[in-house]
Amino acid sequence: MRSTIRHTGRIAVVATTAVVSFGVLAGPAFADNDSPDLELTLSEPAAAAPGSTVDVEYTLTNVSDKATDGMLLNMSLPEYVSFAPASNCQETGENNEGGTLVSCNISGPEGKLGAGESLESSTPFQISPDAPADADLGKLGALVVPLKDGAEETEDWTDTSGPNAAETSISTASGSSAGGWLSSLTGMFS
């Protein structure tokens, strides 16, 4: 049986380590046979103007016959892309491309997925007004692993080769965001 849980808004998540290269890492995909197996997919957002926000849609699926107690989500953001602060997330460093590493602890009801359940949602990411227009800013990488009792990782969170890791491109379009254009116009009449 497969069920879907839909949430809107930002997911909650917190960890402690740094990530390598474009962001995420390497090792055996499902190191703990007693833990649930997770699958992650990310959408590729449309190109957006510097200074605007893009929404990345994602689906987390528990593809095992065991429920999760929580999940750890590690993200590697490209340069010029930021993630709004969340109480269960923290920056853990910089990646090799000058972007930010973020780790989030998804516990509570959001982090509990029964066997075969999926969580579908989207998360907004801000593109810096200083980002170059008409450019591929790079890859946003994400890796999710189950937590035991909501706190301890149960898999090798550095492995990006399994179905629990995904990446998507973030790019910019011409122009500036409506907010930037509107601010400029408002400033002319002040």
Its pTM stands at 0.72
When pLDDT is averaged across residues 70-80 and rounded to a whole number, the result is 92
Cβ-contact 75, 102 below 8 angstroms: yes
* Per-residue pLDDT tens over the stretch 43-60: 999 999 999 999 999 999
pLDDT at 85: 75
pLDDT at 52: 94
pLDDT at 155: 62
CATH number for 3-188: choose from 3.30.379.10, 3.20.20.140, 2.60.40.1510, 1.20.1250.20: 2.60.40.1510
* Amino acid type, 155: E
Q: Does the pLDDT of residue 14 top 80, yes or no?
A: no
When pLDDT is averaged across residues 181-189 and rounded to a whole number, the result is 38
List CB contacts of 15: < 8 A, sequence separation 6 or more.
Answer: 72, 74, 90, 92, 103, 104, 105, 153, 157
Better pLDDT: 83 or 42: 42
Better pLDDT: 184 or 94: 94
When pLDDT is averaged across residues 96-118 and rounded to a whole number, the result is 89
Q: Does the pLDDT of residue 142 top 90, yes or no?
A: yes
Q: Where are the domains positioned within the chain?
A: 3-188
- Work out the mean pLDDT of the chain and round it to a whole number: 75
**pLDDT band, residue 109 (cuts 50/70/90):** confident
